[in-house]
Amino acid sequence: MPKKQFKVVFNRERCKGCELCKSFCPKKLIEMDTQVNARGYCPAMMTDQTQCIGCQSCALVCPDGAIAIYEEE
Amino acid sequence: MKPVFEYTKGMTDAITSYCPGCTHGVAHRLIMETLDEMGLLGKAIGVAPIGCSVVAHQFMNVDMCESAHGRSPAIASGIRRVHPDKVVFTYQGDGDLASIGMGEIMHAAARGEKFSTFFINNCIYGMTGGQMAPTTLIGQRSTTSVDGRTREQAGMPLKMCEILSTLDGPSYIERVALDSPAHIRAAKKAVRKAIEYQLAGKGFTFVEFLSICPTNWGLTPPKAMEWLRENMIPYYPLGVYKDEEAQDNGDK
Ligand SMILES: Cc1ncc(C[n+]2csc(CCOP(=O)(O)OP(=O)(O)O)c2C)c(N)n1
Ligand code: SF4
Ligand code: SF4
Ligand code: SF4
Ligand SMILES: [Mg+2]
């Protein structure tokens, strides 16, 4: 079976830049943008989508519903 | 693309008023995801507290009622008795539930009122700027314990799961934590159990969430998660404090 591919999508405007997703990603794939969103927060973003294992840790700890995860078919 | 995780429709689209990293948002989501997955969004009635989550009714996509400070167990008792077909819950902070509302929660639990309480213990009065709560830990600084809480001055922090589990009325009591993905998964199972017991007509159910208040603790959200793990969990042990079903099975 080919390796599963996941796509993590951040909602820039919902994100409050708390860095919880970043601190819990076991693959260290999440960084904070230096450009702020409309509310003045530096939102989270993916560095290397292809390394994501789809563990959902980021989405589970996100208090703001800013993360969605999809599996590529 | 197949969705693996999406924001639950149990929450409204509104961006919450909570501080960055505040686990009120996680607790809200777990309760609402559970109600959605159980098909109960149209059947649930929540009672919001006084505290930072005074505005929970703007974020939880179910019928909600506001209560005076600490009084939501009394309101929920009335709603559930008048509407036995509904799923009723209160959502309360530690100041709301364990200080001003101590009488209401004790008596609702003692009566075995058939609603569920979700108790957010962040060891502080968050909304009002970080005063000491009955749950503030020994040594913990707050605006009313500037050198840290002492036993001599304020007594020991109240352990609500342990206290409530001495009563006959509750059917399920569990303490969970929101400090890691694994604990968050476990917390959701506790929410489900509480709702299932309510649907089965058993007595009062109670889930305590150890939660963070990065703003008033003066820590970044990731550091606050560590503080919770290192300080709160040793004093407030996680686990099931009462389970009527397990007891019944044990008696047979
Ligand atoms: C009758 C009354 N007394 C006091 C207050 C002030 N007050 C508002 S919220 C609060 C404590 C909230 O703490 P908690 O329940 O722990 O909620 P948190 O904000 O930490 O989630 C207090 C004392 C009030 N609103 N009404
Ligand atoms: S799903 Fe897991 S591996 Fe992928 S970004 Fe989120 S935390 Fe990292
Ligand atoms: S956990 Fe959520 S709100 Fe916090 S930085 Fe990550 S995406 Fe943004
Ligand atoms: S003050 Fe504390 S409890 Fe209130 S929203 Fe901010 S972090 Fe959350
Ligand atoms: Mg509190």
Q: Quick check: CB of B134 below 6 Å from ligand 1?
A: no
As a whole number of angstroms, the distance between CA B2 and CA B238 comes to 35
**Residue pair B232/B240 in contact by the 8 Å Cβ criterion:** no
Look up the CATH superfamily of B24-251: Thiamin diphosphate (ThDP)-binding fold, Pyr/PP domains (3.40.50.970)
| Residue B252 pLDDT | 45
The pTM score is 0.98
Which residues of chain A are within 8 Å of residue B7 when distances are taken between CB atoms?
Answer: 65, 68
| Residue B250 pLDDT | 66
**Residue of A55, A61, A62, A70 to mutate when probing chain B, most B C-beta within 10 A:** A61
Q: Count Cβ atoms below 10 Å from residue B146 Cβ, excluding itself.
A: 8
Question: Which pLDDT tens digits describe chain B residue by residue (252 residues)?
Answer: 899 999 999 999 999 999 999 999 999 999 999 999 999 999 999 999 999 999 999 999 999 999 999 999 999 999 999 999 999 999 999 999 999 999 999 999 999 999 999 999 999 999 999 999 999 999 999 999 999 999 999 999 999 999 999 999 999 999 999 999 999 999 999 999 999 999 999 999 999 999 999 999 999 999 999 999 999 999 999 999 999 988 877 654
CA distances in angstroms from B209 to A19, B38, B118, listed in the order given: 21, 21, 7
Q: Quick check: CB of A67 below 6 Å from ligand 3?
A: yes
Task: Please report the ipTM that was assigned to this predicted complex.
Answer: 0.97
Q: Count Cβ atoms below 10 Å from residue B98 Cβ, excluding itself.
A: 22
Q: Which CATH number applies to A6-71: 3.30.70.660, 3.30.70.20, 2.70.98.40, 3.40.50.10440?
A: 3.30.70.20
As a whole number of angstroms, the distance between CA B226 and CA B156 comes to 22
As a whole number of angstroms, the distance between CA B86 and CA B28 comes to 19
Strands of the sheet with B2-5, listed across from one edge: A6-10, A67-71, B2-5
In chain B, domain spans: 24-251
Query: Is A36 part of the contact surface with chain B (CB cutoff 8 Å)?
Result: no
Which among B107, B202, B97 has a CA at the least distance from the CA of B158? B97
Strands of the sheet with B44-48, listed across from one edge: B63-66, B44-48, B87-93, B116-121, B205-210, B172-177, B239-243
As a whole number of angstroms, the distance between CA B26 and CA A59 comes to 10
Mean pLDDT over the full length of chain A: 96
As a whole number of angstroms, the distance between CA B232 and CA B225 comes to 10
Q: Is B121 helix (H, G, I), strand (E, B) or coil?
A: strand
For atom 2 of ligand 3, which residue has the closest CA? A62
As a whole number of angstroms, the distance between CA A16 and CA A63 comes to 9
Q: Kindly identify which residue of chain B lies nearest to residue A22, measuring between CA atoms.
A: B222
| Mean pLDDT value across residues A4-10 | 97
